[in-house]
Amino acid sequence: MKRYYDEATLTSMARIEALMNEELETIQMRELESSVTWEPGLRSVLAKIAETHTQVYAELESYLRELRSLNEITLQINEMFL
């Protein structure tokens, strides 16, 4: 059985996934910068920035799971009435 997501949901999910990719790239860049920086204060700031982006990534991931779950429930309800 093929499932269809509405266009708004697909757009939202795609945007969330794009944001997650951006956050992941930022995390990797900051972690790399932190690892090659000799100045302890800057290293600490870069590590905190990476940690903040990791938290944002986790929030986006959680929201994406929630959106997919809600959409799945909606699809199942719609199938009952088709």
Note whether residue 81 is domain-resident. no
Helical (H) or strand (E) element with 27:
helix 7-36
Three-class SS of 53-82: HHHHHHHHHHHHHHHHHHHHHHHHHHHHCC
d(CA 36, CA 17): 29
Give the model's confidence band at 1: pLDDT under 50 very low, under 70 low, under 90 confident, else very high. Answer: very low
How much is the pLDDT for 5?
Answer: 59
Q: What is the pTM for the complete model shown?
A: 0.81
For residue 82, being part of any structural domain is answered with: no
d(CA 41, CA 58): 26
Q: How many domains does the chain have?
A: 1
pLDDT tens digit sequence for 6-57: 677 778 999 999 999 999 999 999 999 999 999 999 999 999 999 999 999 9
Residue 47 belongs to domain spanning: 7-76
**Contact (CB, 8 A) for 29 and 80:** no
1 is a domain residue: no
